[in-house]
């Protein structure tokens, strides 16, 4: 009663959500995009084996349709962003004690950011339980459209590539079915309207990665890697579940006639306007961060990602470079209001997200140096680059993070597919024992790999340079030379980013040398891959060169203003559900310094491999992969560092050897004991009693009673038959005698009775 009074008396206000229900057909019907690959999954599963190309044509067709749809959606969104002036939807609120936050809720001036962009939302009721309506729908805005494009393009190229790469595989059809399901779940994730839907697709993505990593499960290592990926992801998924639940109830407090809301825009809008308590948001953000750490391979839950290279290479390219692992980054970007307020990114104190991201980027880059397996170099590089993105989000450089995600998808997919092309040819992933000198025999792969490497290292004007530079500028730490006022000055993150840039350049130089230079160390005769492998490589390589021009920095004097920050303009939401973030000013001096750092990294590695190792190789007469008297053999400290890296910081030992064993062994012991003492004994007793009863039953009842009865009845019929056959004499008159005798007896009986 009191609650009711309070509800009626408190003044009800509303906040703008920055969404609309109107818009282009493509924007309203984005649900078709995940649906088509899902149908293709079912189709391949049921009919794939009967199709002439094992179901791959179905997957490619579905992805092609979806890719075209995504492009249409992209253009529709660009038009919508610039020209749409429809009605904006607001969320009605209970504003009782939170009234003092009213001025945040105004969200009036968008002066710096330009016109607001209204995301297109289309929802339907999923189910209603206990009076709460759970909806399912699409939220189409800048980041969603960008992701649709990236996912469908990379997935399409991976499909085409796979038709050659896994040709003749015993589970060819199965492989394509899961590629389709994977694409579908990822596309569902990026257009999710609410966190529940996000959670579902998040899990689906995890499931598909499990199935695809373990594609060749006959080998124990592969199925272990799949399990590791799945279980490590479970750890983080717990965080996601808790975080989503916290946000559900937190936003429900502010909405009349409802005790919760899964809606992403509502949650974000409430968080951004300061209507939710800071501590709630901090806890929710920490929980969600755990999910990001597991999915996006952040330190210290990154250990599954390198192992996941056990899957087929196209899968690595699709899942572990371009799409799945960026799901975590995308989730931060989606719920940025929550993270922005929760971690106080606007203030310049170092927060958890920036710290984890920065640390991961360094840790991953260091590990990439000691790998023999070309795919593992790329896997650690992915971890490092994902760290870059998370760090960028942690310092408030949202657009830079998204842009890096965009460019990284292209050059990392290019590198992964390139490594697959090499492995396809030499039948191994080991750079030290089976590669070397491949530039002569695989010119196409070599050129695209070089392009991808330069883009990853971040030399201008390749794609990686522009996005990396934006992140470095976005840290706002370049205060001493020109100043890049962002959301705060994260000088520490800037230093980490700079070191990583140098390390990235160096390990990619090492990787390129070991793979393509020197003399061939493997067996057999490697050859260039076919067009279905090289054409996707070239498409990605071209994008790795040019994608960076989509977001030329603001104030970049060499191009007209209309070409500056196009990506930021279309992708970054300016709406009620997005926090007001400050933008860093690009700096020429920073760009020059970061380029010098990259060149320094390349030069060091060049000096070691292309000069010293090459010379040593010539002297010794065989192709070496490292100096016989390198630093690690001379310096104890360097050797210790090397050992630490080779053992991956002993994290796997920590997880399996210490944590898992500490948990597992007492439980296993207890389970074993209870099994032996209680369960087994009970079962044994049951069994023994049953045997006894059965024995008794057999001897007494079955043998004597039942058998006796049956035998006796048989003997009786046999004996009586023997007697009766004597009557059957065949003589008519004896029958007649019996007839008359019987008639006489019956007549006598009749007389006696009547």
717 lies in the binding site for another protein (CB under 8 A): no
Q: Which is nearer to another protein, 558 or 727 (CB)?
A: 727
Which listed residue (129, 525, 733, 751) binds another protein by CB under 8 A?
733
Binding-site member from 52, 168, 560, 730 for another protein (CB under 8 A): 730
In the set 12, 687, 729, 747, which binds another protein (CB under 8 A)?
A: 729
Residues 6 or more apart whose CB falls under 8 angstroms from that of 436 comprise 514, 515, 516, 517, 518, 519, 520, 521, 522, 623, 625
Q: Tell me the two tokens of residue 617.
A: 């190789």
Least distance (Å) between residue 745 CB and another protein: 14
In the complex, the smallest distance separating the C-beta of residue 726 from another protein, rounded to whole angstroms, is: 8
Shortest Å, Cβ 737 to another protein: 6
Q: How far is the CB of 748 from another protein (least distance, A)?
A: 15
Between strands 12-20 and 119-129, the pairing is parallel
> Cβ closer to another protein: 85 or 725?
725
- Residue 302 gets the label, from left (phi > 0), alpha (psi -120 to 50) or beta, of alpha
Piece of the chain touching another protein by CB under 8 A; list 395-403, 583-591, 687-695, 722-730: 722-730
For residue 356, give the nearest of 322, 320, 337, 328 by alpha carbon.
328
Q: Per CB under 8 A, does 558 bind another protein?
A: no
Does the protein bind another protein through residue 750 (CB under 8 A)? Answer: no
Q: What are the backbone dihedrals phi and psi of residue 431, each rounded to the nearest 5 degrees, phi first?
A: -70, -35
Task: Select 563 or 738, whichever has its Cβ closest to another protein.
Answer: 738
Binding test (CB under 8 A) with another protein, winner from 725, 750, 751, 754: 725
Burial class of residue 387 (count of CB atoms within 10 Å of its CB; 0-12, 13-18, 19+):
buried
Does 731 bind another protein (CB under 8 A)? Our answer is yes
Among 9, 83, 129, 728, binds another protein (CB under 8 A): 728
Classify residue 524 as left (phi > 0), alpha (psi -120 to 50) or beta. left
Q: With binding defined as CB under 8 A, does residue 718 bind another protein?
A: no
Alpha-carbon torsion 252, 257, 262, 265, what sign?
negative
In angstroms, the CA 354 to CA 400 distance is: 14
d(CA 627, CA 543): 36
Measure the CA–CA gap between 181 and 323, rounded to whole angstroms. Answer: 13
Give the one residue of 678, 736, 746, 749 binding another protein; rule: CB under 8 A. Answer: 736
Site membership for another protein, residue 753 (CB under 8 A)? no
Cα 339 to chain center, whole Å?
Answer: 20
636 contacts another protein (rule: CB under 8 A): no
- Looking at residues 435 to 474 of the shown chain, list those that interact with another protein (rule: CB under 8 A): none
Q: Name the one range near another protein by CB under 8 A: 196-204, 250-258, 312-320, 724-732.
A: 724-732
- Report in angstroms how near the CB of residue 742 gets to another protein at its nearest: 13
Helix H or strand E segment including 20: strand 12-20
Q: Can residue 732 be called a binding residue for another protein (CB under 8 A)?
A: yes
Q: How open is the CA angle 406-410-415, to the nearest 5 degrees?
A: 140
| Residue 85 interacts with another protein (CB under 8 A): yes or no | no
Q: How many residues does the chain have?
A: 754
Distance in Å, CB of 744 to another protein, minimum: 9
Nearer to another protein, 481 or 736 (CB): 736
Token pair recorded at residue 342: 């929760």
Give the whole-angstrom CA distance, residue 216 versus residue 236: 26
Name which position in 737, 745, 746, 749 contacts another protein (CB under 8 A). 737
**In the range 661-690, which residues lie near another protein by CB under 8 A?**
none
The backbone torsions φ and ψ at residue 489, rounded to the nearest 5 degrees and listed phi first, read -105, 100
Decide: 331 and 192 in contact? Cβ < 8 Å: no
Residues 6+ apart with CB under 8 A from 543: 410, 411, 414, 463
751 binds another protein (CB under 8 A): no
Q: Between 682 and 729, name the residue whose CB sits nearer to another protein.
A: 729
Least distance CB 688 / another protein (angstroms):
56
Q: Count the site residues for another protein by CB under 8 A.
A: 11
Residues 6+ apart with CB under 8 A from 307: 224, 225, 228, 229
Shortest distance, position 696 Cβ to another protein, whole Å? 45
Segment near another protein (CB under 8 A), from 477-485, 622-630, 703-711, 736-744? 736-744
Distance between CA atoms of residues 137 and 480, nearest Å = 47
Specify the residue, 168 or 730, whose C-beta has the smaller distance to another protein.
Answer: 730
**Which of 480/727 has CB closer to another protein?**
727
CB of 701 to another protein, least distance (A): 38
Of the CA atoms within 13 Å of residue 633, those in its CB half-sphere come to 5
Kindly give, in sequence order, each residue whose CB lies less than 8 Å from that of residue 628, ignoring residues fewer than 6 positions away: 616, 620
**Of the ranges 265-273, 333-341, 647-655, 734-742, which one interacts with another protein (CB under 8 A)?**
734-742
* Residues at the interface with another protein (CB under 8 A): 725, 727-733, 736-737, 740
């Amino acid at each position: 009663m009191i609650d009711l009074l309070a509800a009626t008396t408190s003044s009800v206000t509303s906040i703008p959500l920055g969404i609309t229900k109107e818009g282009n057909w493509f924007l309203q019907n984005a649900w078709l995009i995940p649906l088509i690959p899902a149908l293709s999954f079912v189709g391949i599963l049921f009919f794939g084996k009967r199709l002439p190309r094992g179901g791959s044509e179905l997957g490619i067709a579905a992805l092609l349709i979806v890719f075209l749809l995504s492009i249409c959606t992209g253009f529709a969104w660009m038009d919508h962003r610039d020209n749409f002036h429809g009605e904006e939807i607001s969320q009605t609120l209970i504003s009782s004690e939170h009234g003092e936050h009213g001025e945040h809720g105004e969200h009036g001036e968008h002066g710096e950011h330009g016109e607001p962009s209204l995301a297109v939302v289309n929802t339907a009721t999923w189910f209603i339980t206990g009076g709460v309506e759970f909806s399912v729908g699409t939220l189409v805005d800048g980041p969603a459209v960008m992701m649709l494009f990236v996912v469908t393009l990379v997935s399409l190229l991976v499909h085409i590539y796979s038709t050659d790469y896994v040709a003749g595989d015993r589970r060819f059809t199965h492989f394509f079915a899961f590629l389709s399901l994977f694409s579908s779940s990822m596309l569902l994730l990026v257009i999710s309207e609410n966190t529940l839907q996000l959670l579902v697709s998040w899990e689906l993505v995890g499931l598909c990665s499990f199935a695809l990593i373990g594609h060749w499960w006959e080998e124990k290592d592969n199925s272990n890697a799949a399990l590791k990926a799945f279980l490590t992801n479970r750890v983080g998924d717990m965080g996601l579940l808790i975080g989503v639940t916290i946000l559900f109830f937190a936003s429900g407090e502010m909405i009349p006639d409802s005790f919760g809301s899964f809606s992403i825009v509502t949650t974000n809008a409430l968080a951004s306007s300061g209507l939710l308590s800071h501590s709630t948001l901090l806890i929710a953000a920490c929980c969600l961060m755990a999910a990001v750490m597991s999915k996006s391979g952040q330190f210290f839950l990154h250990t599954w990602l390198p192992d996941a290279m056990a899957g087929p290479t196209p899968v690595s390219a699709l899942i572990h470079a371009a799409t799945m692992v960026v799901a975590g980054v995308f989730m931060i970007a989606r719920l940025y209001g929550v993270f922005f307020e929760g971690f106080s990114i606007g203030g310049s104190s170092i927060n958890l997200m920036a710290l984890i991201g920065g640390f991961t980027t360094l840790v991953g880059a260091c590990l990439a140096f000691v790998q023999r397996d070309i795919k593992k170099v790329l896997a650690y590089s992915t971890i490092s680059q994902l760290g870059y993105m998370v760090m960028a989000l942690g310092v408030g450089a949202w657009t830079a993070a998204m842009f890096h995600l965009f460019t990284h998808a292209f050059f990392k997919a290019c590198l992964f597919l390139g490594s697959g092309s090499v492995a396809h040819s030499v039948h191994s992933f080991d750079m030290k024992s089976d590669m070397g000198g491949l530039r002569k025999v695989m010119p196409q792969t070599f050129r695209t790999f070089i392009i991808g490497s330069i883009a990853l290292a971040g030399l201008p004007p390749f794609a990686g340079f522009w996005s990396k530079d934006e992140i470095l500028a976005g840290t706002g730490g370049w205060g001493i030379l020109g100043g890049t006022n962002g959301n705060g000055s994260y000088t520490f993150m800037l230093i980490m980013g700079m070191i990583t840039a140098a390390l990235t350049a160096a390990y990619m130089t090492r990787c390129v040398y070991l793979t393509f230079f020197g003399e061939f160390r493997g067996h057999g005769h490697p050859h260039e891959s076919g067009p279905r492998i090289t054409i996707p490589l070239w498409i990605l390589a071209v994008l790795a060169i040019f994608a960076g021009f989509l977001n030329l920095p603001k104030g970049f004097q060499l191009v007209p203003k209309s070409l500056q920050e196009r990506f930021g303009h279309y992708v970054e939401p300016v709406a009620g559900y997005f926090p007001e973030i400050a933008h860093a000013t690009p700096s020429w001096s920073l760009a020059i310094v970061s380029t010098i750092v990259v060149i320094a990294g390349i030069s060091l590695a060049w000096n070691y491999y292309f000069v010293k190792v090459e010379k040593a190789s010539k002297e010794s007469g065989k192709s070496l992969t490292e100096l016989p008297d390198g630093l690690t053999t001379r310096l104890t400290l360097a050797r210790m560092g090397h050992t630490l890296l080779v053992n991956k910081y002993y994290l796997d030992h920590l997880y399996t050897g210490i944590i898992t064993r500490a948990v597992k062994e007492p439980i296993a012991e207890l389970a074993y004991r209870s099994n032996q003492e209680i369960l087994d004994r009970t079962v044994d007793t049951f069994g023994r009693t049953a045997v006894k009863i059965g024995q008794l039953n057999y001897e007494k009842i079955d043998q004597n009673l039942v058998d006796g009865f049956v035998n006796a009845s048989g003997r009786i019929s046999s004996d009586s038959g023997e007697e009766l056959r004597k009557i059957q004499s065949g003589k008519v008159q004896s029958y007649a005698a019996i007839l008359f005798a019987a008639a006489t007896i019956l007549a006598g009986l009749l007389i006696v009775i009547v």
